[in-house]
Structure formats: C-alpha cells, structure tokens
Amino acid sequence: MTLSGNGLVRLAEQIRDKAGARFVLGIVGPPGAGKSTLAEGLRDILNESGNVAVVAPMDGFHRSNAELDSMGARARKGEPDTFDAEGYVAALRRVREGRVEWPTFSRITDEPVPGGVVIEDEPVVITEGNYLLLDEGPWKDVRGLLDEVWFVDVPDAVLAPRLLERFLAGGRSREEAEAKIAASDLRNAALVRATRDRADLVL
C-alpha cells in the first residue's frame, strides 16, 4: 500500500475502528523510512476528535552514550544490541496495565530522555522502531505484545540522503555521516527488511 494524505486518513480510520480498551500498533521499518512521521501523523488525525492516541517510540530505549562507550559500541549505535530491548519489552507489558512514563530520544543531545511522554488512558498506543519484528534475543517477545504491525519501506536510494541530512543536522561531519550510513545504517536496513513478511500491512 502506498501512503498519501488521503491514505493517512484511511489508515487512521482503520485504527479508530479497532480501538477498544487499548489497541497497541507497531510501526516498523528501516532507519530513515518515515516511521516517526507516520506515527505522529496518525496520532494527530486520531486526536482531532479527542485524546485518543499517543506515540511511544522505541528510540527511547537507546542505551546511553556512556554505556555504549563502555561496550565499545558507540560507532554501532542503532544496531539491535545498542538498545535496551529487555526494558522495551517490559514497558510494552506495562502499557497493557495502565499509566506508563515512557522514555523518548533527543536528536540534539543524542541521548534518551526519561519520561519524555506519559501514557495514560489513551485507547491507542502507537510504538515505532526498527526491530519490532526481529525474531531473536529479547526482541522476539515484542510481536506478541502488539495487536498489529505495519511495515514502512523505502529504497536505500531514498534512505541514504535522509540519513545523511539527519546526521549532519546532529553535528556529524559529512565523512563521519557517510561512514556511519555505509557501515551500519544500510546494514541495519537489510536486517529490518528481512522481517517485513511478519507484518500485517506493508506501506
């Protein structure tokens, strides 16, 4: 399915039709595919009629830069083991129970922000990230905690310029950014695409 302005409205209506006591939607895709933009667009449309939806990003579970440095993994930031997957799974379980203070991620400080969003009684929780369908390690428990998962994909020729712009805005040099994209992000994209067959819908 291709996404457009009207398509976004139709997708939001699909969610509204399914929302009950709590509907948890996962949006997954490679880095730079537009997951955050889609999640926030759906939230905004749903919330035009009231406090219906909240976005709970997987990026809030990035390990801190200090922890990554201790692991020797700062250069690989964004790969599966550079996230606190156990913490993410535990938070998803709590979402079913009620109020949760959920961490977000700052692209300015390049660090997680504790309690960046608070999930209260919204009937729809939208969580988005790269590894929601990964079937290994603690990630394998994520799919069973989501009611539906939608996969967002774009080709590498589109991803690479988006990621370059993101890294330059975050303060990296062009050389550093291009090296990170080639050595890590596009490899992550291939890993994530290998999981798309497990999604309920591909956009």
Chain segment 43-57, per-residue pLDDT in tens: 999 999 787 999 999
Predicted confidence at residue 5, as pLDDT, reads 62
What span, in angstroms and rounded, lies between the C-alpha atoms of 26 and 80?
A: 17
Helix (H/G/I), strand (E/B), else coil: 6: helix
Residue 166's Cβ-side half-sphere holds a number of Cα atoms within 13 Å equal to 16
Read off the pLDDT band of 19 (50, 70, 90). Answer: low
Q: What does the pLDDT read at residue 183?
A: 66
What is the distance between the terminal CA atoms of the chain, rounded to a whole angstrom? 5
Q: Fill in the DSSP letter of residue 64.
A: P
Least Cα distance to 108 among 55, 59, 61, 171 occurs for 171
> What is the token pair recorded at 111?
């660090």
What does the alpha-carbon distance between residue 156 and residue 141 come to, in Å, rounded to a whole number?
28
Residue 78 pLDDT greater than 60, yes or no: yes
Write down the pTM of the prediction.
0.87
CA–CA gap between residue 56 and residue 104 (Å, rounded): 8
**pLDDT of 66:** 96
Amino acid letter, residue 198: R
